[in-house]
Amino acid sequence: MINNTSLAHWSRLQAKSLDTQFMNDMVIGLGCSPFEAEAVVEKVHEIYKPLFDSSQGLKPGQIEVTVIDASVAPNVPLAKAKQRLVTLTLHAGQEDIESRKNGSVTTLRQKRVCRMCQEAFQQGGLLTLEDLANLFNCGVRTLVNDLAALRKKNIVPPLRSTTKDMGRAITHRRQIIALWLQGFEYSEIAIRASHSIDSVANYVDKFKRCAALFASGFDVHAVALMVKLSTSLTQEFQQLHANMQGVPHRLRELEELLKKNQVRNLKRRSQP
């Protein structure tokens, strides 16, 4: 519910758009009706949109920002990391106006976080929480709360911390395995989690191996050593395995893997 705005406020914001200026010029200068002017604007968008999209110049509401290159490993200090210049849409015009009009400041900020993180990622860069805090002139804690709210909706923007699985940011690992258990294919998971298909396959393979070892009675430290994973990631896989839910064919796949593992163990023990 919006309690600090009025219809006049939104009308003033909408009146500042280039589309509105164009329609006003057509109505005043060419004597078109508002309906005709709006129809012409829609046709201009339809015809010239590919040209506008391919234009190298900044569009209204866009900014250029230097971010960390997506190829930089998580153990590289930021001061020594490769940088990349990306174009971000800070204000998307009518789209953002509608989000704010029908939602709240928080709703709009979360929408912008998702959009700008995706834009940076698609251009080969990754934003950090500090980058976003600077762009939105807010505290990091505010953004942490935003990300927590987005995760409840199964939305995980591709930040450097999540995409590179740095520190306590382990949401992408959980998201990848959860999506796989739900029956999604690697290509679909890669798009949703902003990871490569190879990375998704690697996580799933390691989760399968961990699940088999947990089922055989090995503890976290032993599994971490055998699968060559960090203790924190192994603990996360253990939690996923303990509370495992998924579509039947994924659960059968894990069950068959477990049976094969048990057969191999029996054969090894029976050998003299």
> pLDDT digit string (tens) for 17-62?
667 777 888 888 888 888 888 888 888 777 776 666 655 677 888 8
Work out the average pLDDT over 159-175.
Answer: 66
| Band of residue 263 on the pLDDT scale cut at 50, 70, 90 | very low
pLDDT in tens, 79-129: 778 888 889 998 888 888 888 888 888 989 999 998 998 888 888 889 988
**The dihedral sign for the CA sequence 49, 52, 156, 135:** negative
Q: How much of the chain exceeds pLDDT 70, in percent?
A: 82
CA distance readout (Å), 74 to 81, 98, 122, 163, 172: 10, 37, 19, 10, 15
Contact between 163 and 177 (Cβ < 8 Å): no
Pair 84, 68: CB distance under 8 Å: yes
Block residue for tokens 């600077």: 134
pLDDT at residue 132 above 90?
yes
Q: Residue 210: pLDDT above 60?
A: yes
Least confident segment among 84-93, 138-147, 229-238 = 229-238
Q: Where are the domains of the chain?
A: 1-45, 61-168, 170-270
Check pLDDT > 90 for residue 209: no
Percentage of the chain exceeding pLDDT 90: 8
Looking up tokens 């659960």 gives 251
- Higher pLDDT pick, 170 / 35: 35
This model's pTM is above 0.75: no
DSSP assignment letter at 83: E
- Alpha-carbon distance of 148 to 150, in angstroms, equals 5
Q: How confident is the model at residue 173 (pLDDT cuts 50, 70, 90)?
A: confident
Which residue's structure tokens are 């798009």? 191
